[in-house]
């Protein structure tokens, strides 16, 4: 596949330099905010970095992570992101390696969109609309695995379209590997891909007879088998009693499926799209994106350049516009619109949460915006290069630059607000046990609770273990030892630090890290000694760790 991509890229550059140059500049704009702040404003990122630290520094006595954790790759499908960062961490500092992988997502999203657009005969210049969507609500939530799955989803769908046209075994093999990689990046993204791939195949083929689709359909079988195995091991289908008894009795999340009324789901669309900052900066980006989308729709109608008509041509070479050859199916040109409509329907029909998995439906909101882009039926935004450059590329790049500037500014503000977290965890001995109590996880910069997991930087920098942790969650490749793990917490303990007390939790830990005011810990001089005070943080040493008397 790779040798075939290089000549295709050269051909694309020769035939459409405007799109190539514009997408390159857009990808650079998308990557810049990842490299400017000291701490990325991603709530769950410290948890993911701590997981990689455990994997990367296993059996390293400097960090001592193997004393407090057990690695179990078979229990999770969150693997590709962790493995990628782990491998890069042999060449780069761990956090730098994570930023490289996150940059792959930021750059990959618009480029993957360009591939999907070309596969369906749309103008790849429309992929510039994906740049502002890189920094959606789930970026700031720190859902690194979910985000990394989005470019893979688009690329795999693009290849499905090509494979339906010409189902060669090399393409089926490439699809099989991509589907497995997608599953081992995020199971929900893979499940959504299965639905969209079926829609693509159904509308692209000439009829329902298996001879039209059986070869392409084979590529889903290995990944679907892996999904079935993980579903059983992770207790996704277990009843409430089995669920709460699983994973050492630490499964405290309710086992019920929770749905949201359709009107509430409609009302929450904007909030779960780009509404991450205090103030109206991101709302401005959303409005500008909608305006640019409308402008692109008007340009597409005015250009009057329809998608190439469906024929029975099965050639794999580009036609004289540089776009993909048409599909043989009678409804092929309606596939992008169908993908968009199915994604919208999935959002309204999916549950909000189930057991530990939250949110489910809300993750689909950025995908609705993404699949709206190829739904624009436009083979060419302008007949001449300068009309495409001035009419769409320049406004789109201006929006990309403004988006990057907004995120750079707010990233710096978050780093300042987060304070000296790395400095205070450095005051604790390495390879110990630390519990973090965050009073007021909110922020003056972000709408969510971005301070919630900052205590995991102790594991990243010093090793050992830190609570609250994603360890023992069904999506984590690391678990606690059965006998030496920490005491279990009540539901949502990380959000209710006031529930902390010595006899239930504190006796087990070597250190207590507090953000904000905690009179209970400060006043308990019989058990805790304050050893560092770096506002808004205080670090306490347990005078008798491991003793519950």
CA distance 519 to 36: 36
Q: Both 391 and 357 in a single domain?
A: yes
Q: Both 272 and 323 in a single domain?
A: yes
pLDDT at residue 354 tops 90: no
Q: Both 382 and 490 in a single domain?
A: no
Q: Both 170 and 263 in a single domain?
A: yes
Predicted confidence at residue 320, as pLDDT, reads 36
Q: Both 262 and 291 in a single domain?
A: yes
Q: Has residue 547 been placed in a domain? A: no
- Where is average pLDDT lowest: 295-299, 380-384, 476-480? 380-384
Q: Has residue 230 been placed in a domain? A: no
Q: Which residue has the higher pLDDT, 314 or 349?
A: 349
Predicted confidence at residue 13, as pLDDT, reads 59
| Domain coverage including residue 358 | 2-34+75-220+255-406
Tell me the pLDDT tens digit for each residue of 252-264: 566 678 899 988 9
Q: Has residue 445 been placed in a domain? A: yes
Q: Both 463 and 346 in a single domain?
A: no
Predicted confidence at residue 485, as pLDDT, reads 84
Q: Has residue 125 been placed in a domain? A: yes
CB 65 within 8 A of CB 57: yes
71 φ, ψ (degrees, to nearest 5): -95, 130
Q: Which residue has the higher pLDDT, 300 or 54?
A: 54
Q: Both 21 and 97 in a single domain?
A: yes
Taking residue 348's Cβ as centre, other Cβ atoms within 10 Å add up to 15
CB 377 within 8 A of CB 339: no
Q: Which residue has the higher pLDDT, 35 or 517?
A: 35
- Where is average pLDDT lowest: 6-20, 386-400, 517-531? 6-20
CA-closest candidate to residue 57, choices 67, 44, 47: 67
Q: 3-state SS of the chain: helix, strand, coil percent to 5?
A: 55, 5, 35
pLDDT at residue 241 tops 60: yes
Tell me the pLDDT tens digit for each residue of 46-58: 999 999 999 999 9
DSSP β-ladder status, 537-542 and 511-515: antiparallel
Tell me the pLDDT tens digit for each residue of 496-549: 898 888 888 889 999 999 998 877 788 888 889 999 999 999 999 999 887 665
- Percent of the chain whose pLDDT exceeds 90: 63
Mean pLDDT of the chain: 88
Q: Both 373 and 287 in a single domain?
A: yes
Q: Has residue 51 been placed in a domain? A: no
* Residues β-bridged to residue 511: 434, 541
Q: Both 395 and 462 in a single domain?
A: no
What mean pLDDT do residues 372-387 have? 86
Taking residue 449's Cβ as centre, other Cβ atoms within 10 Å add up to 16
Q: Has residue 186 been placed in a domain? A: yes
Q: Both 295 and 389 in a single domain?
A: yes
- Alpha carbon 399 to chain centroid, angstroms: 22
Predicted confidence at residue 78, as pLDDT, reads 87
Q: How many domains does the chain have?
A: 2
Tell me the pLDDT tens digit for each residue of 66-95: 999 999 988 888 899 999 999 999 999 999
Is pTM beyond 0.85? Reply is yes
Predicted confidence at residue 321, as pLDDT, reads 35
What mean pLDDT do residues 427-439 have? 96
Predicted confidence at residue 190, as pLDDT, reads 97
Q: Both 276 and 160 in a single domain?
A: yes
CA distance 518 to 501: 11
Q: Has residue 43 been placed in a domain? A: no
Of the three residues 349, 380, 406, the one that is the final residue of a domain is 406
Q: Both 371 and 425 in a single domain?
A: no
What mean pLDDT do residues 359-376 have? 95
- The four Cα atoms 249, 254, 256, 262 give a dihedral, to 10 degrees, of -150
- Where is average pLDDT lowest: 95-109, 114-128, 294-308, 380-394? 294-308
- Where is average pLDDT lowest: 45-49, 162-166, 240-244, 544-548? 240-244
CA-closest candidate to residue 108, choices 150, 53, 66: 150
DSSP β-ladder status, 511-515 and 257-258: unpaired
Q: Has residue 234 been placed in a domain? A: no
Tell me the pLDDT tens digit for each residue of 191-235: 999 999 999 999 998 777 777 788 999 999 999 999 998 888 777
Predicted confidence at residue 315, as pLDDT, reads 40
H or E element: which one contains 70? strand 70-71
CB 447 within 8 A of CB 522: no
């Amino acid at each position: 596949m790779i040798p075939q991509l290089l000549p295709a890229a050269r051909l694309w550059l020769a035939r459409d330099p405007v799109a190539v140059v514009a997408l390159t500049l857009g990808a650079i704009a998308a990557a810049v905010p990842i490299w400017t702040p000291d701490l990325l404003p991603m709530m769950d990122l410290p948890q993911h970095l701590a997981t990689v630290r455990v994997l990367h520094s296993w059996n390293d006595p400097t960090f001592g992570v193997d004393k407090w954790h057990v690695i179990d790759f078979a229990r999770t499908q969150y693997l590709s992101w962790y493995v990628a960062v782990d491998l890069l961490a042999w060449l780069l500092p761990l956090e730098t390696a994570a930023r490289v992988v996150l940059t792959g997502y930021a750059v990959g999203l618009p480029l993957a969109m360009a591939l999907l657009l070309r596969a369906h005969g749309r103008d790849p210049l429309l992929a510039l609309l994906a740049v502002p969507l890189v920094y959606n609500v789930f970026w700031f939530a720190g859902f690194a695995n979910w985000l990394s799955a989005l470019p893979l989803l688009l690329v795999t769908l693009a290849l499905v379209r090509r494979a339906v046209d010409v189902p060669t075994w090399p393409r089926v093999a490439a699809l099989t590997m991509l589907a497995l990689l997608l599953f081992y990046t995020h199971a929900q993204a893979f499940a959504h891909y299965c639905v969209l791939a079926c829609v693509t195949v159904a509308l692209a083929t000439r009829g329902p007879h298996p001879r039209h689709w059986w070869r392409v359909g084979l590529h889903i079988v290995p990944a679907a088998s892996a999904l079935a195995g993980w579903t059983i091991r992770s207790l996704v289908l277990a009843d409430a009693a089995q669920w709460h008894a699983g994973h050492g009795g630490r499964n405290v999340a309710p086992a019920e499926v929770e749905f949201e009324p359709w009107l509430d789901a409609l009302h929450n669309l904007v909030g779960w799209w780009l509404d991450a900052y205090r103030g109206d900066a991101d709302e401005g980006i959303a409005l500008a994106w909608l305006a640019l989308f409308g402008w692109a729709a008007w340009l597409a109608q005015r250009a009057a350049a329809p998608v190439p008509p469906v024929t029975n041509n099965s050639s794999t070479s580009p036609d004289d516009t540089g776009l993909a050859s048409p599909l043989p199916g009678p409804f092929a040109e309606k596939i992008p619109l169908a993908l968009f409509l199915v994604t919208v329907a999935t959002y309204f029909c999916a549950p909000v949460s189930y057991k530990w998995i939250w949110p489910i439906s809300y993750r689909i909101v950025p995908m609705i915006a993404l699949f709206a882009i190829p739904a624009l039926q436009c083979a060419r935004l302008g007949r001449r290069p300068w009309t495409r450059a001035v009419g769409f590329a320049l406004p789109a790049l201006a929006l990309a630059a403004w988006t990057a500037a907004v995120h750079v500014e707010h990233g710096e503000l978050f780093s300042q607000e987060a304070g000296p977290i790395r400095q205070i965890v450095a005051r604790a001995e390495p390879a110990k046990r630390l519990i973090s109590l965050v009073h007021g996880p909110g922020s003056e910069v972000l709408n969510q609770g971005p301070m919630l997991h900052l205590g995991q930087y102790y594991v990243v920098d010093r090793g050992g273990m830190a609570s609250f942790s994603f360890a023992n969650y069904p999506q984590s490749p690391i678990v606690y030892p059965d006998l030496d793990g920490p005491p279990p917490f009540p539901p949502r303990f990380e959000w209710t630090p006031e529930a902390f007390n010595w006899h239930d939790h504190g006796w087990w830990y070597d250190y207590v890290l507090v953000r904000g005011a905690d009179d209970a810990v400060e006043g308990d001089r019989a058990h805790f000694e304050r050893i560092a005070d770096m506002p808004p943080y205080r670090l306490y040493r347990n005078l008798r760790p491991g003793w519950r008397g």
